[in-house]
Amino acid sequence: MRHSGTSYQVPPSQPVLAPITITDPDEASSAFEAAYAPNFLTMLGRASRLELRLATSRLPLIDVGAVEISGNIRLEAPPPRSCCVVLHPRRGGVTISAGRESVRVSPDKLAFLPPGARLRYEDWGPDTELTTLRIDNSVLSSYQPLAAEHVLREPVAPLLVDLRDDAARVLAWVMRLLALEMRQPSGTLTKGVMAEHVSGLALSGLLSTLDPDAADPVSARSRVLRRALAAAEGDEYTLPSLADLAKAAAVSVRTLQELFRTELQTTPTAYLRQVRLRRAHQELVRNDFSRTTTEAVAQRWGFTNYGRFARLYRTHYGVSPSATLKRVNSEML
């Protein structure tokens, strides 16, 4: 299977946790930590009981989890900085909160849990059964860099996706298939070459669910460029930086630089300089000597070296900045 971007070394598939039944809260917390992340598990109510069955399998690109849980518990987990999780209940459900934002995940929905959010899980439905995917950020970034940057930077809270969405429905089907295959003695889909292909299908399904442009690299590049150019041309009176453009496009500075180089044959910095030069020209055309000077206009638009500004201006417009201001004044007389 080919992946765009940096090559990813595919590790062998292997089981992480075998399916066992756990009734002790401390043991349950340890099992969740081994499968997902450190956590704080609290039993709620006086007569609370807990029954947990948890199994996970490590595939070449993803970790698959099958969770069955019955009990009134609250599970809190610190921000998973290096990975994201997709969760789909086959039955039951759970409420997931990040700060003041809460979503109810039920069998007709998928939940995407982004890195960086502290999450709380509670209000579990009776005999809830979940399938999960755990994906390292580095794997997503190696697989489809542009789509991954968009997906990993945008969400700040759990994102709910309805299974009426075609891509989400396919992803839920793949997750369910993997969870069922984990329980088979042969486990054909979770071993060897087949595991690599199926986990790649799951990754593609995730990116297509969260970013419709992911399946089309041209559309993904166009979206990033549109956002960056809109930020560069945005407010007439602001001076956006390279970091501002990258933030608006939801990609890293390095990715944005590479995209400008390959798609526009320039750099973001050079493009911003042209925008500032055009704004300076427009201000010179609108003004006269009684209200401003060429030096003041240059400073306002971020050109701290007037000599360089004047040379750049003459190269682009064929006249000096002062000639433009003089022409405007002579036309007004």
What is the signed CA dihedral for 18, 19, 25, 27, rounded to 10 degrees? -20
Distances (CA, A) of 29 to 36, 48, 264, 270, 327: 10, 16, 51, 53, 77
CA distances from 126 to 123, 154, 203, 260, 292 (A): 9, 33, 30, 52, 73
Do 74 and 126 share a domain, yes or no?
A: yes
User: Residue 108: CA atoms inside 13 Å, Cβ hemisphere, count?
Assistant: 2
Percentage, residues of the chain above pLDDT 90: 25
With respect to residue 235, please indicate whether it lies within any of the assigned structural domains. yes
Phi, psi of 164 (to 5 degrees): -70, -20
Q: Does pLDDT of 109 surpass 60?
A: yes
pLDDT at 114 > cutoff 80: yes
209 and 282 belong to one structural domain: no
CATH of the domain at 228: 1.10.10
Q: Which CATH number belongs to the domain containing residue 307 in this structure?
A: 1.10.10.60
Whole-number Å distance between alpha carbons of 295 and 298 = 5
Residue 293 falls inside a structural domain: yes
Helix (H, G, I), strand (E, B) or coil at 234: coil
Which token pair is 218? 């041209």
Residues 75 and 37 in one domain: yes
Tell me, yes or no, whether 154 lies in a domain.
yes
Segment 47-62, tens digit of pLDDT: 678 999 998 888 888 8
User: Is 2 inside any structural domain?
Assistant: no
Last residue of a domain, one of 197, 215, 233: 215
For 164-182, the pLDDT digits (tens) are 888 889 899 999 888 888 7
CB 59 within 8 A of CB 25: no
* The total number of structural domains that make up the chain: 3
